[in-house]
Each structure stands twice: as structure tokens, then as C-alpha cells.
Amino acid sequence: MDLHILEHRVRVLSLARRGLWLYTHPLLKLLFLPQRCRCKFFSLTETPEDYTVMLDEEGFKELPPSEFMQVADSTWLVLSVVSNGREPPGCQATGVTKIARSVIAPLAEHHVSVLMLSTYQTDFILVRERDLPVVIHTLAGEFDIYREESGECVPVTCDDVSNGFLKPKPRDPTLHPVQSPQTRFCVLTVAPDTLPAIATMLIDVLFYSHGPPWDAATSSQDLDSITFFSFSLIEGYISIVMDAETQKRFPSDLLLTSSTGELWRMVRIGGQPLGFDECGIVAQIAEPLAAADISAYYISTFNFDHALVPEEGIAEVIQLLQQRQEKGR
């Protein structure tokens, strides 16, 4: 398999709900007129706490600094796994599960913090720019690595980053609590030329249909519902995650989903904000799902992580994660 280091240099930030009014205009520009700002990587995710934005440097220029915006210190690079038809035999799962053993687990073992952004089309792994030498050194044995430069894929070797690397000492990862609200979700896409037809509804959902406050610290796994909506526009491809009730508000002939129309349940990771320095958070979820060959989409946000698993498999997923936590105690 190939690992591509994309050209995007991404910033990750949180917009407070009470300050959304200040950013409505630039966000609409990024959503519907990306050519006006030359932004090629943009993702906006609404959670009960805030809005998480991941966007490249061109898009970041559109957002004015304010007390309502909190920006992660690091610049993040985007990795993408390309199978080139050499998918591991017997691998039927989709989403982050496919790359759990080959990417997520090795990076966690080498103490590299990652963010994940699963879309309808693919999965993006975000790593800190300063961690790139460790990433290349760690994954060069598993992948042919290429770096995109001016639209060209340039081979990357680890010859110049291999010296001086020592096998890291193992750490006991922090096992974070997980919660599973009852909300059912859809993972969808829209043809770019039909985006204007749903623009009014998207604006309503993102900016004017706020859900009630939700207590992130609650430990119950039988939560009734959760506010979650994610829109990504990356290199011209659109991906949307929305709950099944919100989907009913959109024209059914414009939203494209898989032929099975599968619904997904959420596993939300973290009882308190996770931060960006801890390693192994994604692996905590991805590894047991990979072992059970369960598909999963994974979306990191500024404070918490979210995995989407098939609705019919949620009970098995919760059981697997509970067993892992029991072993870690």
C-alpha cells in the first residue's frame, strides 16, 4: 500500500457557540465559495460543546482572531492511505478499521498523537508537522511513502531520518470512558454541482438549529440524543454526517449514500476534553474494532473523539470496549 503526505498544512480550531455570529460570513464563504479563498481542505463539525474547524492555511486566513476562537498550537499534515488494489486479503471492514493495524497502532506505539477525519470517500490521518520524521521512520517498512508537491507525487525515503531513532519505551495508555447516545446517523455525499440546491437547508441546520446543551461529563451510555453534524469539502469532494431525523429535511434525491442505506451509531470517547498531546486515543477504539472486523468512521474534534459504527453492531462494540477497559485496570 502507499501512504501519501498531502500538500495541505492544516490548522485545527474551536469556535464557541456564543461567538458563531462573528464567523457566519467567512464560514459560508468556505462552505459554498471555496474558490474565492483557494481553500482546498475544509471541515466543520458541530458538537454540543462548540464547532470544530479543520482547514488549510488559505482557509485559515478567512477567520478573524477573537476571544471566541481557540486555535491548537501545531500545524498538522494530512496523510492518506492508497491501496492501489492491494487490499489485505479478507479485509471487509471499511473506514478507520482498515488502517488500524498498519497506521494507527504503530504511530501510537511511537508516541505520535493523531487526529482522524473519516469522510464518505476516504480517511485522513492528521499528524503534527514536527512529528513527520517519526511518522516516516515508523511507517516506511509498511508503506511506499510519497509526498505531494505541486500536484506531483515525490517518493520519500527514510534514509535521512533513520539515524538517532530509538525504540520508544512502552507506556500504559489512558483508557477513556465511552458513551453511546441513541441517535442514529447517516454518512452521505452530495455532487458539488447540486450543493446550491441544499444550501438554504444546510445554513438552517448549521447556524439556526442548535440542539439543547448536553452534559459531556455524564457517564450514562443510554443517552437519548446528541447534537452532531459534520460537513467536509476536501479537494472538491463533499462528505456529510448527520442524524437520521435531520436527513429527512433534505431532498432525498440529492443526498447520496451507500446502496444499503446503512445507519450508524456513535461511540463518543472522553469524559473530559482530551487535548492534543496524548497518544493512543484513536487506537483505543480502532484496534478492538479491527480485531473484530467491524467497520467504523472516526471524526476527531477539538475536545472529544467520535466513532461511528454500524447500528446493528453497537452492542458488540460497547462490549468489546468495556472488556478492553477491564483488562486495562
Quote the cell numbers at residue 30.
468556505
pLDDT band at 125 (very low <50, low <70, confident <90, very high): very high
* Residue predicted with more confidence, 12 or 285: 12
- Whether 266 shows a pLDDT value over 80: the answer reads yes
**pLDDT at 69 (0 to 100):** 98
- pLDDT tens column, 173-212: 677 888 999 999 999 999 999 999 999 999 999 998 765 5
Average pLDDT value for residue range 296-313: 94
Q: What average pLDDT does the segment 149-169 reach? A: 71
| Arithmetic mean of pLDDT over the chain | 87
Q: Which whole number is the average pLDDT over 6-17?
A: 97
What average pLDDT does the segment 6-27 reach? 96
**pLDDT computed for residue 5 by the predictor:** 97
Side chain identity at 195, as an amino acid letter?
A: L
- Rounded to 10°, the helix 314-328/281-291 angle is 120
Answer yes or no: is pLDDT of 84 > 80.
no
- 155-172 in b/e form (b: 16+ CB < 10 A) is ebebeebeeeeeeeeeee
Residue 91 has pLDDT above 60, yes or no: no
Taking only the tens place, the pLDDT of each residue in 32-52 is 998 888 999 999 999 999 999
What residue type is assigned to position 21 of the chain? W
The C-alpha atoms of residue 43 and residue 150 are separated, in whole angstroms, by 22
What pLDDT, on the 0 to 100 scale, is given for residue 322? 82
Q: Reduce the secondary structure of the chain to three states and give it as a string.
A: CEEEEEEEEEEEEEEEHHHHHHHHHHHHHHHHCHHHCCCCEEEEEECCCEEEEEEEHHHHCCCCCCCCEEECCCCEEEEEEECCCCCCCCCCCCEHHHHHHHHHHHHHHCCCCEEEEECCCCEEEEEEHHHHHHHHHHHCCCCEEEEEECCEEEEECCCCCCCCCCCCCCCCCCCCCEECCCCEEEEEECCHHHHHHHHHHHHHHHHHCCCCCCCCCCCCCCCCCCCCEEEEEECCEEEEEEEHHHHCCCCCCCCECCCCCCCEEEEEECCCCCCCCCCCHHHHHHHHHHHCCCCEEEEECCCCEEEEEEHHHHHHHHHHHHHHHHHHC
Q: What is the pLDDT of residue 211?
A: 54
In which band, very low, low, confident or very high, does the pLDDT at 61 lie, cut at 50, 70 and 90?
very high
Predicted local confidence at residue 173, as pLDDT: 65
